[in-house]
Amino acid sequence: MERDFWLSRWQNNRIGFHEPTPNAFLTAHFSALDIRPGGRIFLPLCGKSRDAAWLCEQGFTVVGVELSRLAVTQFFAESGLVPEISSTGSFERFEAGGVTLFAGDIFDLDPETLGRVDAVYDRAALVALPETMRRRYAPHLIALTKAAPQLLVTLEYEQSHAEGPPFSVPETELLVLYDSAYRPESVEVRDITGGFKGRCPARERVWVMPRRWPGPD
C-alpha cells in the first residue's frame, strides 16, 4: 500500500475502517497490559480513532502517528480541541488534551522523536500493510518502542479469496513477526458477521503481548 493510496482514501472520505466509537476489543482487554494511569500509549497508523479519547479518559496520555494530515486535523476538530502545531524533522506535531499526533510516515519516525512508550495499541496498522511491508513494520515498531507491551487486533481470512486492505495476518505469521520480542497470547477470537467483504469467512483475533525481557525503569 503506497502513500498515495491512503492519502486518497482520506481525501475522498473512503474510510470504512474508521470506528466512530471506542473499539470493543480495546475497552475489554486493554487492562490486561497492566499499565498504570499516566502511562503513554502509542497508536501506530491511528487515523482519527476515537480510541485515543477513550484512553485519555482512563487516565493515560496518547501518542500516535498518521500519514494523513487531514485525519489528524479531523481528530482534533471532532474532539473540540485546538492543537499546538510544531515541526519535528519531517513530521508535523499536533498536541492538545493529552494527545500528541505526528503527521507523517511511520517508517521515518525514530525513538527520540517518538519519546517514551509504555504500551502499544495496534488495531489498524499491521492489518493495513501487505506482507512485505509487515516484515518491515514489525521490527521497526519493536525498535521504536523498545518492545513496549502491546494489545494487537488481527484479521484472519483466506487471502487468496479476497484482496486487502485490511489484510489477513494468520497466527503463524504473527509468531514469526513478534515471538522473539513478545510472549503473544490470543485472548479473544470473534467471527465477522457476513465474512470479509461478503466474500469469505473471516474472524478477528485479539492478542495481548508482554515483552520477553524486562523493560526500562
Determine if residue 123 is labeled as part of a ligand binding site. yes
Neighbour-count burial for 138-174, b at 16+ CB within 10 Å, e otherwise: beebbebbebbbbbbbbbbbebeebebebbbbeeebb
Rounded Cα gap, residues 195 and 122, in angstroms = 22
Mean pLDDT score across all residues of the chain: 93
In this predicted structure, the answer to whether residue 18 has a pLDDT above a threshold of 90 is: no
pLDDT of residue 16: 60
Convert the pLDDT of each residue in 117-147 to its tens digit. Answer: 999 999 999 999 999 999 999 999 999 999 9
The residue segments making up the domain with residue 31 are 3-12+22-209
pLDDT of residue 114: 98
**90 Rama sector, left if φ>0, alpha if ψ -120 to 50, beta otherwise:** alpha
pLDDT of residue 8: 76
Convert the pLDDT of each residue in 65-81 to its tens digit. Answer: 999 999 999 999 999 99
pLDDT of residue 43: 98
Residue 217 lies in a domain: no
Residue 195 lies in a domain: yes
Determine if residue 54 is labeled as part of a ligand binding site. no
In this predicted structure, the answer to whether residue 1 has a pLDDT above a threshold of 70 is: no
How many domains, in total, are found in the chain?
Answer: 1
Determine if residue 203 is labeled as part of a ligand binding site. no
Residue 214 lies in a domain: no
- The pLDDT of 10-24, averaged and rounded, is 73
CATH for 118: 3.40.50.150
Residue 178 lies in a domain: yes
- The pLDDT of 188-208, averaged and rounded, is 95
Residue 216 lies in a domain: no
Residue 111 lies in a domain: yes
In this predicted structure, the answer to whether residue 217 has a pLDDT above a threshold of 60 is: no
**Distance in angstroms between the alpha carbons of the first and the last residue of the chain:** 37
Determine if residue 45 is labeled as part of a ligand binding site. yes
pLDDT of residue 52: 96
Rounded Cα gap, residues 210 and 198, in angstroms = 34
Q: 197 or 43, which is more confident?
A: 43
